[in-house]
Amino acid sequence: MGRPSKYPRELRERAVRMVAEVRGDYPSEYAAMTAVAQMLGIGSPETIRTWIRRQQVDAGDRPGVTTDAAVEIKRLKRENAELRRANEILKAASAFFAAELDRPHKR
């Protein structure tokens, strides 16, 4: 979608799995995220929290827009903007040629 991730996909998936595996060893999910972030050298537990929430949405376990849907929406918005620009160009050209037809011709 946006800029390429600083972390490889495999690392993100591994971090999400690790949090699920060690969750019972910690008093909260956030504590597990913090521990996994430190183990894997990830800057912030918030980064892992974002990955977990995204995975939950994609799996249908949490409400929200899936990654695939977000990509498709972005593509459609870009296409829509391009079509609007093309329409404006065509309208301007149409108005120009209509004005040319209305002018009296010199012979």
Domain boundaries, the chain: 1-64, 65-107
- Which has more confidence, 4 or 2? 4
**d(C-alpha 79, C-alpha 85), whole Å:** 10
* Alpha helix stretches (DSSP H) within the chain: 9-22, 29-40, 45-59, 67-102
pLDDT in tens, 48-88: 999 999 999 999 999 999 999 999 999 999 999 999 999 99
Look up the CATH number of domain 1-64. Answer: 1.10.10.10
This model's pTM is above 0.75: no
pLDDT at 1 over 70: no
